[in-house]
Amino acid sequence: MLNKLWLFICIVSTASCQFQADKKYADDLKGCLTDKDVKILNKATYLFEQKLKEHYENSDNNTNFYKYLNDLGSIQTLSSFKKDFYLNDESIQIINELENKGTFNKIWIEFIDDDESDEIPIAVLPEYEDPKKEKIEIYSLNPNGDYLNCINKTNKNEAIKEILNSQSNYGNIAPSIIARAMKQKINKNDFNVGLNKVIVAVGFYYDTVNLLNKNPR
């Protein structure tokens, strides 16, 4: 009986892994990203797709992606996403894998606020201690990264490329603003293209996972 149970678990696990491996959301990027990069992006997007399916209790993946953009851009529905939707063992593992494989730096770059360097020093009493400002690690889309360059070369959706390039040029823009802008430019059928799912997964899910993971409260 135990042998049969173990065999069943092995078969289910193998089938699940094979199903995940068959997902080729990011394969259009193979011309300018490494196979390792593409593999982890496929894995990351698949995980996010499953999170959306669970959250919305809906098996229509295209609708889920589109609804996520809509909810992310709306103050009324943004609160429906709890912290563990973003911070969980699976999502944190994806961030770790992205960093370990070198894919992370091809996507994001640390955002440096120039205003901090423009502060004017003032004379203070010796006993006065300036309260230390808590540093927050913020990352934005790398304008010179292979990921964005690759999307510009391969993605045929000009609206999405325009929004991503604006985001990378201006740096730290709230994801809700970008999500609202993107939602207005596309429809759910655009998610028939796997690469558009990758873009939403990376830019509007794992970007937040990384922010929360690097700045625990």
Q: Is residue 82 part of a domain?
A: yes
Asked if pLDDT for residue 51 goes beyond 80, the answer is yes
Q: Count CA within 13 A, CB hemisphere, residue 50.
A: 12
CB neighbour list of residue 137: distance below 8 Å, 6 or more residues apart: 110, 211, 214, 215
Asked if pLDDT for residue 181 goes beyond 80, the answer is yes
Which structural domain, as residue segments, surrounds residue 34? 26-112+146-214
In the chain, % of residues over pLDDT 70: 79
Higher pLDDT, 1 or 210: 210
Q: Is residue 196 part of a domain?
A: yes
pLDDT per residue as tens digits for the range 97-119: 999 999 999 999 998 876 544 33
State whether the Cα torsion 22-28-32-37 is positive or negative. Answer: negative
Q: Is residue 108 part of a domain?
A: yes
In the chain, % of residues over pLDDT 90: 65
Give the confidence band of 9 by pLDDT, cuts at 50, 70, 90: very low
State the helix-helix crossing angle for 89-100 and 35-56, rounded to 10 degrees. Answer: 170
Lowest mean pLDDT among 9-13, 56-60, 157-161, 176-180: 9-13
pLDDT of residue 124: 37
What is the tally of structural domains in the chain? Answer: 1
CA dihedral 208, 209, 212, 216 (to 10 degrees): 180
Q: Is residue 12 part of a domain?
A: no
Residue type, 81: F
pLDDT per residue as tens digits for the range 120-152: 333 333 443 544 556 889 999 999 999 999 999
User: CB of 186 within 8 A of CB of 160?
Assistant: yes
Q: Is residue 125 part of a domain?
A: no
Asked if pLDDT for residue 17 goes beyond 60, the answer is no
Please measure the distance between the N-terminal and C-terminal CA atoms of the chain and give it in whole angstroms.
Answer: 47
119 is written with which tokens?
């502060």
Q: Is residue 138 part of a domain?
A: no
The whole-angstrom distance between residue 157's C-alpha and the CA centroid of its chain comes to 19
Q: Is residue 55 part of a domain?
A: yes
Give the confidence band of 22 by pLDDT, cuts at 50, 70, 90: low
Q: Is residue 185 part of a domain?
A: yes
Q: Count CA within 13 A, CB hemisphere, residue 183.
A: 19
User: CB of 139 within 8 A of CB of 207?
Assistant: yes
